[in-house]
């Protein structure tokens, strides 16, 4: 092995355990990519660590970054691609001054409106004790029951303003509730029957950022989602909670509806509803936009998903979306990957 930039060189076979037997594929597990290496502005390979070793994978054609809306901009910044001032602050040599790397962060922000249910027919009580054991047996025998259900049983798309051309809020409705105050970041079903209607704004105007806090790859970046900073987002979230209340207070639910748990009967004014949304809302895990595609000064990739200002480097994940889609991001990301695969193959054939 030879040294390059202080890293230990290795072939893929030396340290990797291929998951599939295929000549053109090695999958590395338990590894952390921490830098893309360049010859001038040409991407040459990726440095990564695995089980205490520093390794290097060279690229004969292209380096493809697929780390998602958080890790992709972090890796680019660690590699010298991003806002020049941020990179220099952390002692990183600038390969390409792209101010848009890590900017334009968007996400779906969800807020729960929850009620008690007057009858024991919800997921809350079915997920405990003997009831859960019965559900496990049902799933094992017939692949049916509680364990075969999705998290949200009903979905709805609604306009908060009649002049809109399409719905601007998605509702996730489920026979379950999680209203207890427990440790931050931890969710637990209530011990009593409950039901929830949780809206999220589909096209938020608020924008956040992902910025490295250190040149050390294991240091998590600063994630600033800036939820509900835009006035439209504030107005939309208030209206979405009012609509959720109207849904729960519809006459067909009279036999099932108990007391309102969240926001709670004492939360009535627009300011109170907004304050509740700020305190109790959460991500629905749809971050996008931090390496957006385009040709404007804040764009990071072009229409072929190639990173501006460098060669042989593409980003292929949700971070390339200029704007958040009006729904879940899973299917769009799959299609981004399929389209990218076609473009990569076309470029290889033309070379």
Lowest mean pLDDT among 1-10, 27-36, 308-317: 1-10
What pLDDT, on the 0 to 100 scale, is given for residue 326?
96
Give dist(CA 268, CA 39) in Å, integer.
61
Give kind and range of the element (H or E) at residue 54.
strand 53-58
Helices 270-280, 231-248: crossing angle, 10 deg rounding? 100
CA-to-CA dists, residue 157 to 177, 199, 237, 238, 329, angstroms:
21, 9, 14, 16, 16
End-to-end CA distance of the chain, in Å?
31
Contact 170, 199 (CB under 8 A): yes
For residue 346, pLDDT over 70 is answered with yes
Kindly report the pTM of this predicted structure.
0.88
Give dist(CA 316, CA 69) in Å, integer.
10
Give dist(CA 321, CA 336) in Å, integer.
9
Average pLDDT, stretch 121-125?
92
**The CA-based dihedral angle spanning residues 38, 44, 47, 53, taken in that order and rounded to the nearest 10 degrees:** -130
What pLDDT, on the 0 to 100 scale, is given for residue 87?
98
Catalytic residue among 108, 172, 211, 286: 286
What pLDDT, on the 0 to 100 scale, is given for residue 4?
34
Going by the DSSP 8-state scheme, the letter that residue 306 receives in this structure is B
For residue 3, pLDDT over 70 is answered with no
- For the chain, list the domains and their CATH numbers: 3-105+288-350 (3.50.50.60), 109-119+150-208+223-283 (3.30.410.40)
Nearest of 29, 63, 59, 35 to residue 47 by alpha carbon? 35
Q: What percent of the chain has pLDDT over 70?
A: 92
For residue 298, pLDDT over 50 is answered with yes
Contact 99, 111 (CB under 8 A): no
Q: Per-residue pLDDT tens for 246-273?
A: 999 999 999 999 999 999 999 999 999 9
What pLDDT, on the 0 to 100 scale, is given for residue 351?
79
Q: What is the mean pLDDT of the chain?
A: 91
**The CA-based dihedral angle spanning residues 89, 94, 98, 103, taken in that order and rounded to the nearest 10 degrees:** -30
Q: Per-residue pLDDT tens for 127-178?
A: 889 999 999 999 999 999 988 988 888 999 999 999 999 999 999 999 999 8
Q: Is 108 a residue of the active site?
A: no
Q: Per-residue pLDDT tens for 324-345?
A: 999 999 999 999 999 999 999 9
For residue 82, pLDDT over 90 is answered with yes
């Amino acid at each position: 092995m030879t040294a390059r930039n202080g890293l230990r060189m290795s072939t893929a076979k030396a340290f990797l355990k291929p998951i599939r037997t295929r000549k053109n594929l090695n999958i590395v597990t338990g590894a952390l990519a921490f830098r893309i290496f360049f010859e001038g502005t040409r991407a040459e390979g990726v440095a990564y660590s695995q089980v205490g070793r520093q390794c290097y994978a060279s690229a004969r054609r292209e380096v493809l970054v697929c780390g998602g809306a958080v890790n992709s901009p972090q890796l680019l910044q660690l590699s010298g691609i991003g806002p020049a001032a941020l990179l220099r602050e952390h002692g990183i040599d600038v390969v390409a001054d792209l101010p848009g790397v890590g900017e334009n962060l968007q996400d779906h922000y969800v807020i729960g409106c929850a009620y008690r249910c007057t009858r024991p027919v919800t997921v809350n009580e079915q997920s405990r004790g003997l009831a859960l054991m019965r559900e496990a047996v049902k799933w094992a025998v017939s692949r049916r029951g509680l364990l075969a259900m999705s998290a949200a049983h009903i979905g709805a798309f609604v306009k908060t303003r009649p002049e809109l051309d399409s719905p601007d809020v998605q509702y996730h409705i489920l026979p379950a509730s999680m209203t207890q105050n427990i440790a931050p970041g931890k969710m637990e079903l209530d011990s009593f029957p409950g039901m929830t209607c949780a809206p999220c704004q589909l096209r938020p105007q608020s924008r956040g950022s992902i910025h490295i806090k250190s040149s050390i790859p294991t240091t998590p970046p600063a994630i600033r989602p800036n939820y509900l900073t835009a006035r439209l987002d504030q107005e939309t979230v208030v209206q979405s909670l009012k609509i959720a209340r109207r849904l729960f207070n519809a006459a067909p639910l009279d036999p099932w509806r108990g007391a309102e748990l969240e926001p709670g009967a004492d939360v009535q004014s627009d300011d109170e509803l907004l304050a509740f949304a700020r305190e109790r809302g959460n991500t629905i895990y749809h971050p996008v936009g931090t390496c957006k595609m385009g040709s404007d000064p804040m764009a990071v990739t072009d229409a072929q998903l190639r990173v501006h200002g460098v060669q042989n480097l593409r980003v292929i994940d949700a971070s390339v979306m200029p704007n958040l889609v009006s729904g879940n991001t899973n299917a769009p990301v799959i299609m981004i990957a399929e389209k990218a695969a076609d473009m990569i193959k076309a470029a290889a054939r033309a070379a």
